[in-house]
Amino acid sequence: MEARISLITLGVADLERSVAFYRDGLGLPTEGIIGTEFEHGAVAFFPLAGGLRLALWAQADLAHDTGLEARPVSPTGFALAHNVRERAEVDAVITAAERAGARVVKPAQETFYGGYAGYFQDLDGHLWEVAWNPAMLPG
């Protein structure tokens, strides 16, 4: 298998509410919800850096598609990381997320690797790290 991830899909409880959080609260661009003409097909895509896309899909529809039982999200099962170019952006992103309804689980602070980072959970409990790492600045 080639190490090529092109899409990250998050299962969400309320698709419209989650689209509003990511679009209006975090400012991510999207064409909105598409695929509503298909049973279990409604989804929203958000283009990210490097050709990667974030998809939001109702958790019930993801469970239907996979045949797995829907279960609560484990916030420590994985984390998405958003690396920023400047230290002050960490606070700005976390503040915007909190205003949009996110739960800040670890306020931004100095890190062991010489950076600055904090964590929030989106409306469904998915964990996001917002980090400024001087050794790993985004392009």
pLDDT one-digit tens code per residue, 41-72: 999 999 999 999 999 999 999 999 999 999 98
DSSP state of 69: P
Which of 90, 97, 138 is CA-nearest to residue 115?
Answer: 90
**What global pTM score does this model have?**
0.91
Q: What is the mean pLDDT of the chain?
A: 95
The CA distance from 95 to 102, in Å, is 9
> CA 7, 13, 17, 20: dihedral to nearest 10 degrees?
-10
| Predicted pLDDT at 49 | 92
Residue 139 has what pLDDT?
77
Q: Half-sphere exposure of 22 toward its Cβ, with a 13 Å CA cutoff?
A: 27
* Domains detected in the chain: 7-66 (3.10.180.10), 79-132 (3.10.180.10)
Other beta carbons within 10 angstroms of residue 54's beta carbon come to 17
